[in-house]
Amino acid sequence: MQAFHHGDSLRHDPDRYFRRGAIISHPEQAERYRLLLEATQDGRHLLREAGDAGLDPILAVHDAGYVAFLRDVWARRAELPGIEDEILTGHFARPQMHRRPEGLLGLIGLYTADTSTPVRAGTWAAVYGSAQVAIAAADAALSESHAYALCRPPGHHAYADSAGGFCYLNNSAIAAERLRATTGGRVAILDIDVHHGNGTQGIFYGRGDVLTVSVHADPADYFPYFAGYADETGAGPGEGFNRNLPLPQGSGDAAWLAAIREGLSAIASITPTALVVALGLDASADDPIGALKVTTRGFQEAAALIADAQLPTAIVQEGGYLCPALPRNLAAFLAGFDGRRM
Where do the domains of the chain lie, and which CATH numbers do they carry? 2-54+122-341 (3.40.800.20)
pLDDT grade, residue 115 (50/70/90)?
very high
Beta bridge partners of 146: 313
At residue 342, the pLDDT reads 66
Residue 206, exposed/middle/buried by CB under 10 A (0-12, 13-18, 19+)?
middle
pLDDT grade, residue 19 (50/70/90)?
confident
End-to-end CA distance of the chain: 9
Q: pLDDT for 88-113, tens place per residue? A: 988 899 888 889 999 999 999 999 99
Q: In the predicted model, what is the mean pLDDT of the chain?
A: 96
How far apart (Å, rounded) are the C-alpha atoms in residues 132 and 99? 32
Catalytic residue among 5, 6, 45, 157: 157
Closest CA to 103 of 91, 94, 95, 114: 91
For range 9-29, the mean pLDDT: 91
User: DSSP secondary-structure letter at 95?
Assistant: T
Closest CA to 149 of 339, 333, 340, 342: 333
Q: Are 235 and 187 in contact (CB under 8 A)?
A: no
Assess whether the previous peptide bond of 312 is cis (omega < 30° from 0). Answer: no
Q: Is the pLDDT of residue 302 over 90?
A: yes
At residue 95, the pLDDT reads 86
What are the CA-CA distances from residue 274 to residues 183, 194, 204, 305, 306 (Å)?
Answer: 8, 23, 16, 15, 12
Residues 6+ apart with CB under 8 A from 286: 323, 324, 325
For range 75-79, the mean pLDDT: 94
At residue 90, the pLDDT reads 85
Q: Are 260 and 246 in contact (CB under 8 A)?
A: no
Q: Is the pLDDT of residue 226 over 90?
A: yes
* Percent above pLDDT 90 for the chain: 92
157 is catalytic: yes
For range 37-62, the mean pLDDT: 97
